[in-house]
Chain A
């Protein structure tokens, strides 16, 4: 065994670092580092910079505008961008819809939608969950009824992340109510400016608008916007979920957050000494560091085994569970590291250009907010309980 990256991979790492040094706007990186709010424009700016270099859709095949990277390259890119505090690539279009279109979309759909993802013409959101259909996604009810060249869509989606920015939504809709519930679902692309689409915000516990409800009332969607075959949407949805995403474990993000936590623990004082030297806190940090190191290797093992294709469902499940647990523990320790100063909540301090005096250390403003917001990690994208079910059934055969 050899855990080192090959020389050409290390050279690639340098290339990524140089690119980040030159092209990642400091203003945006600082916002990410400090846990400040990013605007729609911040994301668009970063996507455009990546696209210019051909690195935005970095796991798409070359013919559709991907860079043709190996698994190791994609991993290195994820880690380096996270460590440099680049914004994450918004996954809905690039990592979710893109691969589905590439595999199952018609030529017309590919040539129309894929370039628009790359150049930022469209902002996509994901319309899967419904009020009654969360973990049991296949029970979804939003209906699409064929009417000539159109589907008429009625129903409600919920938890739609960043729908307030989106002009397009990819949805799972019910096109048949007979037979198995998985077999009557279709994958439909809907223009959010169509009459009958309404978006309402849901405010999360940290006071932020990040998710939305999306209502459909007699929305006319051209049949041309059906991806693949009618009633086969579940297959595509599953493919989308298992599609190998090198960062499902979020290792890069956790490494960056852990470094920041170490910095805070070295700065904060307890009994006149750095908090990092307090035996109890040091033990917590050490356990986390060990877990993270183990995770890194597990992640690489899974990536290596997948050989650039899709990681199996059960191994993605492992990465998702442990990766999110680690990230949540980092945010939890960061919050704790602040002691009493985790409590103040100066919402404006999370906006760019805030020049009021911070309360407590400058890194305090986002700690508790981040902790609470990241509770979502173990809930969305298939909750950690559902992931454990997958492991017990698929690997352990229980």
Chain B
């Protein structure tokens, strides 16, 4: 047994942590998130140069990582700094590109940091169900066009290339017949409606109206599931990073805030809650470890582990966000305190790629198969 990261991985995590501490403090993050674009291409490039994008992909794909623990190590740091740059979309779409033929060059550019990607899969009615794809793909004279709408795509506007799922055959809810396409907003005739998100990131609706796209995989369901599994590992570890920050800040507060002449941490009513919160965070970390380790397992083992993790992170995330605010009292409710932004991000992670109920349900269903 060894629960430590490999030396290389730890070095990358440390370098990334240092970079974010120095160059991406809360003030800078707020400035970036409230800017018109809602992300920083400068930091994106710098992070890519550090090797952060490369760490998300395996050697065969031109990267130098790509395992569950590589993804974990990187996203944990993103959580600690509330990074808003388009890493999740790049991971999901890049993962799919790395598993299909003929996308090596694009992936190289992605890893070099020149091309951020978005993964536009969810739709207004799909509610986390990966097979609920209604966007239609049609082929005419060798040209594919897509029609329909994709919903709340993280950092959609930031992406040069968007990976879109669309139905070639069948009806929404069926796993077969879902194709995967690449589209370029500038030249495809699609429309992007961007907006700020509650947690400080940006998202967007992708409106496809006969928009041109390039088919990269037919019957892409299992590719989607696999990519989303990496996304769940990423989000779980981002959440763990956020929770560690919330825990540290709350502990610090309990030790320093005085009421009734003593630090509030002296009240047993709060001590037990803090104890509970920290043990739940360790449970969440273990769930994250299980999920990261299971990425290379067979499908059912992998999917059960990532669903278990997202369920745990969702449940514990709500607890930690709410307790952190509560134990801070009024000050925890303020914009000025970084804590409130961590709490918002943690809560919103629950709304990405499936919430706690969705994954509990899925865990049960996968158990029947196993």
Given A205-B340, A271-B129, A359-B193 in contact, is the A340-B357 Cβ separation under 8 Å?
no
Set of chain A residues within 8 Å of B357, measured between Cβ atoms: 278, 280-281, 284, 336
Are A134's CB and B329's CB within 8 A? yes
Q: A73 to B245: give the CA distance in the assembly, Å.
A: 49
Set of chain B residues within 8 Å of A207, measured between Cβ atoms: 335
Set of chain A residues within 8 Å of B157, measured between Cβ atoms: none
| Contacting residues of chain A (378-394) with chain B, CB-CB under 8 angstroms | 378-380, 383-385, 388-389
Q: How far is the CB of A386 from chain B (nearest CB, A)?
A: 9
Are A340's CB and B329's CB within 8 A? no
Q: Which of A189-197, A299-307, A343-351 contacts B (4 or more CB under 8 A)?
A: A343-351
Set of chain B residues within 8 Å of A139, measured between Cβ atoms: 259-261
Given A360-B151, A378-B326, A379-B330 in contact, is the A134-B128 Cβ separation under 8 Å?
no
Other-chain contact of B322, A211, A359, A375, A383 (Cβ < 8 Å): A375
Nearest B residue to A346, CB-CB: B195
**Is B124 part of the contact surface with A, judged by Cβ < 8 Å?**
yes
* Chain B binding surface SS class: mixed
**Is A319 part of the contact surface with B, judged by Cβ < 8 Å?**
no
Residues 165-183 of B, flagged 1 when their CB comes within 8 A of A and 0 if not, give 0000000110000000000
Given A159-B330, A202-B334 in contact, is the A135-B196 Cβ separation under 8 Å?
no
Max count, chain A CB within 10 A of own CB: residue among B196, B199, B333, B357 = B333
**Is A101 part of the contact surface with B, judged by Cβ < 8 Å?**
no
Chain A: number of interface residues, binned into ranges: 35 or more
Set of chain A residues within 8 Å of B343, measured between Cβ atoms: 205, 372
Are A129's CB and B330's CB within 8 A? yes
Other-chain contact of B351, A204, A340, A345, A388 (Cβ < 8 Å): A340
Given A342-B198, A385-B270 in contact, is the A269-B127 Cβ separation under 8 Å?
yes
Are A205's CB and B205's CB within 8 A? no
Given A136-B259, A336-B355 in contact, is the A368-B198 Cβ separation under 8 Å?
yes
Q: A270 to B111: give the CA distance in the assembly, Å.
A: 36
Q: A159 to B361: give the CA distance in the assembly, Å.
A: 42
Set of chain A residues within 8 Å of B196, measured between Cβ atoms: 344-347
Q: How far is the CB of A160 from chain B (nearest CB, A)?
A: 11
Nearest A residue to B273, CB-CB: A385
Are B195's CB and A372's CB within 8 A? no
Q: A207 to B329: give the CA distance in the assembly, Å.
A: 17
**Is A395 part of the contact surface with B, judged by Cβ < 8 Å?**
no
**Is B278 part of the contact surface with A, judged by Cβ < 8 Å?**
no
Q: A344 to B193: give the CA distance in the assembly, Å.
A: 11
| Contacting residues of chain A (353-373) with chain B, CB-CB under 8 angstroms | 359-360, 368-369, 371-372
Residues 121-161 of A, flagged 1 when their CB comes within 8 A of B and 0 if not, give 00000000100111110010000000000000000001100
Nearest A residue to B173, CB-CB: A272
**Is A61 part of the contact surface with B, judged by Cβ < 8 Å?**
no
Are B335's CB and A205's CB within 8 A? yes
Are B127's CB and A270's CB within 8 A? yes
Residues 196-227 of B, flagged 1 when their CB comes within 8 A of A and 0 if not, give 11110001010000000000000000000000
Nearest A residue to B322, CB-CB: A375
Set of chain A residues within 8 Å of B195, measured between Cβ atoms: 344-346, 359
Q: How far is the CB of B1 from chain A (nearest CB, A)?
A: 35
Set of chain B residues within 8 Å of A136, measured between Cβ atoms: 259-261
Set of chain A residues within 8 Å of B132, measured between Cβ atoms: 271
**Is A91 part of the contact surface with B, judged by Cβ < 8 Å?**
no
Q: A135 to B266: give the CA distance in the assembly, Å.
A: 14
Are B198's CB and A345's CB within 8 A? yes
Set of chain B residues within 8 Å of A272, measured between Cβ atoms: 172-173
Given A205-B335, A343-B351, A379-B329 in contact, is the A269-B125 Cβ separation under 8 Å?
yes
Set of chain B residues within 8 Å of A278, measured between Cβ atoms: 357, 361
Are A343's CB and B355's CB within 8 A? no
Are B199's CB and A376's CB within 8 A? no
Max count, chain A CB within 10 A of own CB: residue among B173, B203, B259, B343 = B259
Set of chain A residues within 8 Å of B173, measured between Cβ atoms: 271-272
Q: How far is the CB of B153 from chain A (nearest CB, A)?
A: 9
**Is B344 part of the contact surface with A, judged by Cβ < 8 Å?**
yes
Other-chain contact of B127, A339, A369, A378 (Cβ < 8 Å): A339
Residues 234-260 of B, flagged 1 when their CB comes within 8 A of A and 0 if not, give 000000000000000000000000111
Q: A321 to B280: give the CA distance in the assembly, Å.
A: 24
Q: How far is the CB of B166 from chain A (nearest CB, A)?
A: 18
Q: How far is the CB of A76 from chain B (nearest CB, A)?
A: 33
Are B361's CB and A280's CB within 8 A? yes
Q: A81 to B105: give the CA distance in the assembly, Å.
A: 64
| Contacting residues of chain B (288-346) with chain A, CB-CB under 8 angstroms | 318, 322, 325-326, 329-330, 332-336, 340-341, 343-344
Residues 56-77 of B, flagged 1 when their CB comes within 8 A of A and 0 if not, give 0000000000000000000000
Q: List 14 A-B contacts (CB under 8 A).
A: A134-B329, A139-B259, A139-B261, A205-B344, A207-B335, A268-B127, A336-B350, A338-B351, A340-B351, A343-B198, A344-B195, A372-B344, A375-B325, A389-B269
The 10 closest A-B pairs by CB, nearest first: A205-B340, A136-B259, A203-B335, A340-B152, A280-B357, A345-B198, A368-B198, A136-B260, A339-B127, A343-B197
Not counting A203-B335, A368-B348, A379-B325, a sample of 18 additional A-B residue pairs whose C-beta atoms are within 8 angstroms of each other reads A134-B259, A134-B330, A202-B336, A205-B341, A269-B127, A271-B129, A335-B347, A339-B128, A340-B128, A340-B351, A342-B351, A343-B198, A345-B195, A359-B193, A375-B322, A379-B326, A379-B329, A388-B269
